[in-house]
Every structure is written in structure tokens, then in C-alpha cells.
Amino acid sequence: MSLQALSIQGFRNLTDTSICFSEHFNFFAGNNGAGKTNLLEAIYVAGTASSFRARENRILIKNNEPYFRVEARTETTDASIYYDGTRKKLMRAGNEVKRLSEYVGWLGITMLSIEDLWIVRGAPAQRRSFFNWLIAKVSPRYLDDLLEYRKLVNQRNRVLQSIHNNGNQGVLDAYNERFITMSNRVYQERKRFIPLLQTCAIDISAQLGLNDFAIDYHSTCPDMNLDRVQVEQVYDREVLYGRTVIGPHRDDLRFSLEGQTFQQFASEGQERAAAISLKLAEATIIERHTDKRPILVLDEASGELDTLKRQHLLDLLDGQVFYASTQFPSHMPVKDKNCAYYTVQGGIIEKTAPH
């Protein structure tokens, strides 16, 4: 599947426009702040109904505009997202979509950006977010389960805080059974995808010069299975802290290189290569589950890589690619592929001659 066209209204600093894309490589060049990342963000929002860098949709509305609308079209269908500050409306194939899980995944997207470094060097929450989105893009049930699980954790935390204040434990028992069930449903899906992520990321990382790169899943629950005994064992600690200390929301992905802890010993270039390997592994996994190659969206993703590894990265890219940087790459991936070039200046996107 490829993204054929995108229409943008009232989004960030971008001028309202409609753009047609190449089904292979699309390169965008412009100075920092010109709007390149905003364009990639619009593509991502059209495919996932969420931003890869903003938590609030209100931020996406252009100054002095009442709403934003982004419409995307592939060779087989179309979809759009509208937001006016209070109401979000999702459309797919001409029909309004009420559930996020019915929208996410209509257009497979894998985003690679300079911020991906934080998957490797950042907090566990950032690695969980990466892994959760990977699974959600191919498993609508997982997204539904995860959203319910998060709601349960928030409710359970409020109950634990209440117990800490007044000692009333009775309400907690009503939440525990469902909490255990939903924890194990989330774990069941994660168990399916961990070996896939390990295999794919390790294969790709080797091509980017990482030898003996390894990924391990560290769980707060033995064998990634939660039961009542474990919940009872942490009861005193949970009441003391007023929050749920066990379950999928506390787990982590950990990386190593040649047996050494990655976060402590890896260089910035190795961290970048690892982050890219994880994202390209995501694309491979999505393709295997959907029989469709997701589009690849890259925003200054090759920073900290040396020239040779940048060339390797471009050669690894397959399918439809959207690549933004301050300048067009000097090394073209495959010469006979159809490439389109665009300049971005002050939010204005213009097609330019081949480079």
C-alpha cells in the first residue's frame, strides 16, 4: 500500500495544500523550522489519528485557524481526521469511525526520527510505548485491551490512595479480578511479538554494524503471567505508594551489545543504529502480519551515523519512503526507482527538479 495523496487544512505552520506522492522515494529538504517535520507529522496523524510528538490535538491547529483537517488517499481507500478544539472526527472509506482501534492501522506507518534515540537511552515508558504501538498497528484487539488495562490501572491507583487514607480494602477486591484478567491479555499479545522483534531487529542491526545486539524483556511478573498470589504479595507496598507496582505497565525492554548493557557502554552512533534497527524491525513485522509494507517516514533519522552507515540505511529502505532533512541525500538508494523531490520553506511545499 502506498500513500498517493495528502490534503492539509489548518495544520501547524503548513499552507493549505494537496500533494501527490511518488510510490517509492519522496525527499523533502528545507531549513530547520521550515515545516518538514510538520508535514511528516500530518502524514502520521492521517494514518494513526495521533501525533508522534504532541500529546494534545489542540497544538496541531494552525494559529488563528478554527480547526485542522488532514485527508489521505491510497490506491484502495481514503481516510481523514478533523479536529476543531473540542470534537475529533475520524472518517474511513466515507464512513465515520467511532473507535480508535478501527482507525489505527488503515495505513501502515513506521516513523523514524531523531527522537527515537530515547527508545534506547530514555525511560522504560518510552520503550513500552514503542512496543505497544508496534503491536497495536497489527492487532486492534491489543489496542482495545491496552486502553481498558490503562483505565483499570488508573481506577485501581485511586482506590489504593483511598486505602492509604482510610484503610477500606473492600473496593480493591472488585478491581483485582479484572485487573489480573486484562494484565494477562496484554501479556499474551506481547509474548507473541517479543521473539519477532528480537529476530528482526538483530538481523537489521548487524547490517548497520552492531555485532551481538540483543533484546530482553524484563517483566514484573514471572513468566509474564499475573495471578492473585502475586497481587497479594505486593499489597502492602502498593498501599504505601498509592499506586499499582506490578503488571505490564511496569515492564521494560533492555538492550545489550556483545554482552554489555547497552545504555552504559554504547556510543551515540551505536544508539542511533539500534533505534533505527528497532523501527525497521517494526516495519518488517507489520508487513509479515498484514502482507502490506508500511510506508516509512524518516525525520533526520540518520544523525550520529557515519557516511557509510547512512548509505547502508538508505539501501535498507524498501517500499514507499518519506525522507526529510536539511538537504537532499548525496547517496541515492536505487537509481532506477521513481523519486520525487520537494522543498519546504515557511510552510510552503513545492515539488522541485530531480537531484
User: Are 340 and 26 a contacting pair, CB within 8 Å?
Assistant: yes
What is the predicted pLDDT for the residue at 302? 63
What is the block-wise mean pLDDT of the chain (355 residues), using blocks of 10 residues?
94 96 93 94 94 90 96 95 95 92 90 89 94 92 95 95 78 92 98 96 91 94 96 94 96 92 84 92 94 90 65 82 86 65 95 81
What is the predicted pLDDT for the residue at 305? 66
The closest alpha carbon to 30, from 349, 355, 321, 354, belongs to: 349
Report the Cα 283 to chain-centroid distance in Å: 11
Angle at 128 between CA 51 and CA 267, to 5 degrees: 95
Q: What's the rounded Cα separation, in Å, for the pair 292 and 108?
A: 8
What is the predicted pLDDT for the residue at 238? 95
Q: What's the rounded Cα separation, in Å, for the pair 355 and 340?
A: 9
Q: Could you write out the DSSP letters of every residue in 163-193?
A: HHHH---HHHHHHHHHHHHHHHHHHHHHHHH
Q: What's the rounded Cα separation, in Å, for the pair 21 and 4?
A: 5
Q: What cell does 231 get? A: 497481587
What is the predicted pLDDT for the residue at 169? 72
Q: What cell does 20 get? A: 501527490
φ, ψ of residue 265 to 5 degrees: the values are -115, -15
DSSP strand pairing (95-97 vs 252-257): unpaired
The closest alpha carbon to 36, from 348, 353, 333, belongs to: 348
Q: What's the rounded Cα separation, in Å, for the pair 45 and 317?
A: 22
What is the predicted pLDDT for the residue at 320? 94
DSSP strand pairing (213-218 vs 252-257): antiparallel
Q: Under the phi-then-psi rule, with left for phi > 0, alpha for psi from -120 to 50, and beta for the rest, what region is 68? A: beta
What is the predicted pLDDT for the residue at 337? 63
Burial class from Cβ neighbours inside 10 Å (0-12, 13-18, 19+) for residue 299 reads buried
Would you mind telling me the total number of residues written for the chain in this entry? 355
What is the predicted pLDDT for the residue at 94? 92
